[in-house]
Amino acid sequence: MSRVIVVTGAASGIGHAIVERFVKDGDTVVALDVDGPALQAAQQQSWAHAGTRVGAVQADVAQPAAVACAVAQIMQAHGRIDVLVNNAGITGGPQALRLHETSVADFDHVWEVNVRGMFLMCQQCLPVMLAQGSGAIVNIASVAGLVAFPARAAYSVTKGAAVMLTRSLAVDYAALGIRCNAVCPGMIDTPMTHWRLQQPELLAQVVARIPQGIVGRVDDVASAVAFLASAEASYCNGSALVVDGGYSSV
């Protein structure tokens, strides 16, 4: 039986690659995103070959009612959820801001999407996994949750919280057949970071800080997610797997 995988933030970048990876592995994937038109475009242009094995659900992970409705829709269509990948996330804008320059509204917005969104998706999917007696959750955190990024306090705080949420779930649900792990990507070329990587000076600064000397690809992250979601990782629980070319080891 093919697994049912839910991926949030699936219309772009890392989430899009995660969907493709699970489709390639023969799974059934529900691609969830707040951006309806981008989701529709991805389904028509990238996932059409997979037919009914990829479903699209438009929802804002930060909104409790929308998340409850999305999970009910998924259950009606598939009757189970084997893997939840909490990938949806925002940086809070391209401008680098230190804490005293960050507005309360900006802080709250990043927190709502990156942390409350993860909490709400887990809150709605865990009862399904508990009833099944099995499930795996993979949270996309960041190396920013392990080491501080300059002038990115709000974002870094949310990614640190994502790592701790991962460990909390690993402890609370281990005996109930549910594993929870995080992936901590370093600098990956996606629409979130492309504006910076396109500028030769900024790219040179970024690359100079990465021991492997290259920016990561979305497939590097998708491979780590596929591993943590698989039976190959059956004894991995509460881990924060860095995919960063050595960035956080310096």
Ligand X SMILES: NC(=O)c1ccc[n+]([C@@H]2O[C@H](COP(=O)([O-])OP(=O)(O)OC[C@H]3O[C@@H](n4cnc5c(N)ncnc54)[C@H](O)[C@@H]3O)[C@@H](O)[C@H]2O)c1
* Catalytic (active-site) positions: 155
DSSP lists the bridge partners of residue 45 as none
60 binds ligand X (CB under 6 A): yes
**13 near ligand X, judged by CB under 6 A:** yes
Select from 4, 5, 6, 14 the one that contacts ligand X (CB under 6 A). Answer: 14
Q: Minimum distance between the CB of residue 219 and ligand X, rounded to whole angstroms?
A: 12
Q: Any contact of residue 160 with ligand X (CB under 6 A)?
A: no
Residue 15 sits in the site that holds ligand X (CB under 6 A)? yes
Instruction: State phi, psi for 90 to the nearest 5 degrees.
Output: -135, 155
- Single out the residue of 5, 183, 186, 182 nearest to residue 78, CA to CA: 5
Q: Among the candidate windows 21-29, 58-66, 128-136, 233-241, which touches ligand X by CB under 6 A?
A: 58-66
**Minimum distance from CB of 177 to ligand X (Å)?**
26
Binding positions for ligand X, 101-120, rule CB under 6 A: 113, 117
| Residue 246 binds to ligand X (criterion: CB under 6 A) | no
Residue 241 in the binding site for ligand X (CB under 6 A):
no
User: How near is the Cβ of 52 to ligand X at its closest, in Å?
Assistant: 22
Single residue of 124, 193, 237, 239 touching ligand X by CB under 6 A: 193
Gyration radius from the chain CA atoms: 17
- Return the residue of 31, 182, 188, 225 that touches ligand X, per CB under 6 A: 188
Residues that bind ligand X (CB under 6 A): 8-9, 11-15, 33-35, 38, 60-62, 87-90, 113, 117, 140, 142, 185, 187-188, 190-193
